[in-house]
Amino acid sequence: MTQRHILLFFISILVTLTVSSQEKQDTIKAKENYGIRIGFDLSKPINTYFETENKGFEIIGDIRVAQNYYVAVELGSLDKTTNEDYINFTTKGSFIKAGFNYNAYKNWAGMNNEIYIGLRYGISIFDQTLNSYTPNVQGTYFIAETLEPNTVFNDLTAQWIEFVFGMKVETFKNFYLGVSISFNNMISTTNPENFKNLQVPGFNRVFLNNTGVGFNYTLSYLIPIIKKNK
């Protein structure tokens, strides 16, 4: 998905928020729902449909614990084959991320939309399979010529921190459409001998400075538990 498409998606969310605010601005008093919201990342099955060697899923959830604060959890898996100029490898594993969101959007009474910032701690357990590579490649991949093609590296781990910016809009009663971008910084990872982890489940592509970027497009449903006056 191009940057232009991402920008248009953010703009559409902002327009929806504005229209929704105008429609409900005459409401004087309303109840706010506190509950558990569960959903999934729409981009994962879309990627699987268009890229047969990119399989994965991600389940998201959050619970509102205060007026503007939410505890958030994300978990999922990845089975992806990456083919680059000098290397072909497969990453397979699972991940979980936990943290919180702060909603900076000032809702009118009766609304429950979000423009939020958040923080996550992520951990992943995965395997890497080095399918093939071109010998004598220096620097980026740290590959020794003694490695055989189809070498499997098991029980690898990674830990990282994410800074998140996102939006959630109630499009139908208790149904939310969301989009977010995350900026990731690796804390620690177990690299295979003579090979660097270039892809980590949940973290995505690992750049040279151990940073990464992620995008999520989500659909979720709020299960109301209690209602409070705004």
Tell me: the pLDDT tens digits for 169-193?
Answer: 999 999 999 999 999 999 999 988 7
Per-residue pLDDT tens over the stretch 72-106: 999 999 999 999 878 899 999 999 999 999 999 98
Looking at residue 191, its pLDDT comes to 87
pLDDT of residue 96: 98
41/45 Cα distance (integer angstroms) = 8
pLDDT in the model for residue 182 = 97
**117 has pLDDT over 90:** yes
Count of alpha carbons within 13 angstroms of residue 5, beta-carbon side: 4
Residue 112 is predicted with a pLDDT of 84
pTM above 0.85, yes or no: no
CA distance 90 to 9: 31
Q: What is the pLDDT of residue 150?
A: 84
For residues 58 and 4, the model is more confident at 58
Q: What percent of the chain has pLDDT over 70?
A: 80
The residues, any chain, with a CB within 8 Å of residue 165's CB and separated by 6 or more, are 116, 117, 118, 180, 181, 182
State the Rg of the chain over Cα.
20
Query: Nearest-CA neighbor of 70 among 120, 18, 9?
Result: 120
